[in-house]
Amino acid sequence: MFRFNMMVPLCLIASSWCNAQWEDSTFLLPPAVVEGRTIAPLVQLDSLTLALRGQQTLTEALQEIPQLFVRNYGPGSLGTMSLMGGTSSHTTLEWNGISLRNPMLGQNDLSLLPINIFSDVSIDVHGGSAANGNTQLNGTIQLHSRIPKENGFSGSIETGSWGRVGLDFHAIYGRFKAVKSQTRIYGLRSQNNFAFFKAGERSSQTHASIQNAGFMHQSSIHRVFGQPLEVSVWWQDNKQEIPPTVTQSNSEATQETTSLRVSLNWNQQSDGRGPRVTMGLISEGLHFIDPAMALDAESKYQQVSLKLEQRLVSVGVAHLYVGMDDRFTAAQAPNYGGNRHENQLEGHTRWVLKTKRSRWQFALRQGFLDEAVMPLAASLSMNTLILQGLRLDASVSRDLRYATLNERFWQPGGNEDLREETSYGAVMGVRYGETGAADRWMVRLQTFYRNTEDWILWTPLEGQVYWSAQNLSSVWSRGWSIDAQYSRSLRLISFDTKLVYSYTRSTNQKAISQPRIPEGQQLFYTPLHKAVVETGIELSGIRLTYIHTWTGGYPGVQEDLPAFHLGQVNLKLRELDFGASLMRAWFQMDNVWNTDYRMIERRPMPLRSVRFGVHLSW
């Protein structure tokens, strides 16, 4: 199944480089507590930021992040990411503390993850295998769904180009001193028959509709064995038509992805007394049908995970933590030749030194993949206040990524003798900012270096007629980014602007014949330059924002893709108060300048489009 659907584009890439939370002002979120993190995230999208984005997916919401490039195959189609010159499988995606990483592919389709169920999104680029698990090399994207403090109900409807209709209903009820809950039901439908240019002539996309529906429920119990317990259940069903490329006349392929995710978090706000516990259960299936190829294939996996951590010793400002992570996966696919199982057991420890001005952390992790002993992962990180308003953070780490189930067991081509990818990296950032009576500004500079050995690629070996997974490459990634922000608030008007630029050089250090990758060449689908300018103005409750993104050219598998500019306009109208209820509306225009561009070879991207939404809370 994966081979002829998601695995076709993914293998081409891999073989080459291997709410809207829409809470009104009375729906307040409880403070976030992230005990294990030492370094501040590169970017954190809070509930107010997400509330301006409507019913977007992570594919759209992450487009403006420095050092992160989202490879978009078109609306409703596959969306993958590259952080600091790595692949999608080098970055872990977590929701409420449990990994969402597909163990078969090693990555996630971001277009299937709606942001309206998340209260905040944070991106940590400091490696982190030792602290967060041996399934990443380039950091973690953490998604949280937190229960707001105030009870209430809200609903929204969104419509737009290509027959787009989205619905969302949200209920918050109960008491934090007893049991507090929230329930969300959402759905989205779109034909995605957008306009684009094909061979210089205007054309329309065909066979690209999507139907997504989901349900999420969370309950927080104030005291269970003396500590708070939170249980979250998230079910989602996605139906997609697989559109043709620009070189195909038509497509009949369809795909349905169904997932159930359950997380249980106990004692997450502990001051150190008692263990912190996170349990997860994921069941996900993908059904792919292509009548033209007489193909009807279904694959699925089930995963159970457990995380335990206990503060063992505290002496003044020094603390010692020990913990254990265990993740068991069972997967079934036609090309696996039966059921496949995998168990990842990892023991870890953290030494933390906290003072008023700084925090240091040294972490070690020893992993076992089934019966095999994995190399030791280690990291040293620090975050310190140098002067008032000036903060420095840095880290050095040795990180690991295990081979995926497809890389190990897919037949033909899987290789059970693959070595884990090993990376040595360093990240350093400096942030300086000031807040005055009417204005606020901040500048952040960040640089990174990473060298990865035993990079896994899919390639045909001599005498083979099929592609297989091999430890073939060595990749050197380095770069820097700048993020400058300024805002000013006056009596009736406020203004803010943001400039982001990132330079990412990620080169192959070994010449490879098939696919042909010369030594020193930039990795496929990895832009060298990326810049974003965002400017907003708000007057009497009406906010207008313009976002301009420039992405430099980059190599593709068959041909280079040229640089492109994109503009986006967002308009949030004034909130209307009807006494017992509040209503707000928003408008968004994408690709304002009607740019003809491609992010992936042969995958059309839409010209100008619009969407409009209304949100009501009571």
Where are the domains positioned within the chain? 7-617
* Whole-angstrom distance, CA of residue 145 vs CA of residue 133: 21
Amino acid 37: pLDDT: 44
Residues 71-104 have pLDDT tens digits of 888 888 889 988 889 988 999 899 999 999 999 9
**How far, in Å, CA of 563 to CA of 565, rounded?**
7
Mean pLDDT of all residues in 314-343:
94
- Cα separation, 430 vs 447, in Å, equals 9
Query: Each residue of 190-236: pLDDT tens digit?
Result: 999 999 988 888 999 999 999 999 999 999 998 888 889 999 999 99
Average the pLDDT over 144-173 and give the result: 94
Sequence-distant (≥ 6) Cβ neighbours of residue 380 within 8 angstroms? 360, 361, 362, 363, 395, 396, 397
What average pLDDT score do residues 301-325 get?
94
Residue 550 CA to residue 20 CA, distance in Å, equals 25
Predicted local distance difference test score (pLDDT) of residue 368: 96
Phi, psi angle pair for 15, to nearest 5°: -70, -15
What pLDDT, on a 0 to 100 scale, did the predictor assign at position 131?
85
pLDDT of residue 17: 31
The predicted structure's pLDDT at residue 269 = 66
Q: Using DSSP, how many helices (H) and how many strands (E) does the chain show? A: 5, 34
Tell me, rounded to whole angstroms, the distance of Cα 87 from its chain centroid.
12
pLDDT confidence of residue 26: 29
Helices (H), 369-481: 405-409
Residue 43 has a pLDDT of: 65
Give 500-549 pLDDT, tens digit per residue.
999 999 999 988 877 778 899 999 999 999 999 999 999 988 999 999 99
Quick one: pLDDT band at residue 27, thresholds 50, 70, 90?
Answer: very low
Which of 53-67, 139-153, 364-378 has the least mean pLDDT? 53-67
DSSP state of 334: G
Nearest 10 degrees: CA dihedral of 366, 367, 371, 375? -70
Query: Residue 19 pLDDT more than 90?
Result: no
Q: Which amino acid belongs to residue 571?
A: L
Cβ pair 583, 616 in contact under 8 A: yes
Closest by Cα among 424, 409, 531 to 474: 424
Q: What percent of the chain has pLDDT over 70?
A: 91
Mean local confidence (pLDDT), 319-339: 94
Residue partners of 261: CB distance under 8 A and separation at least 6: 95, 98, 100, 232, 233, 234, 235, 280, 281, 282
Residue pair 418/400 in contact (Cβ under 8 Å)? The answer is no
Whole-number pLDDT of residue 176:
83
Backbone angles phi, psi at 200, to 5 degrees: 85, -5
* pLDDT tens digits for range 152-163: 999 999 999 999
Residue 601: DSSP 8-state: T
Residue 382: pLDDT above 70? yes
Cα dist from 373 to 317, 415, 599, whole Å: 34, 18, 40
Q: What is the pLDDT of residues 236-272, one digit of tens each?
A: 999 999 999 988 889 999 999 999 999 999 987 655 6
Match domain 7-617 to its CATH number in 1.10.1750.10, 2.160.10.10, 3.40.50.2300, 2.40.170.20. 2.40.170.20
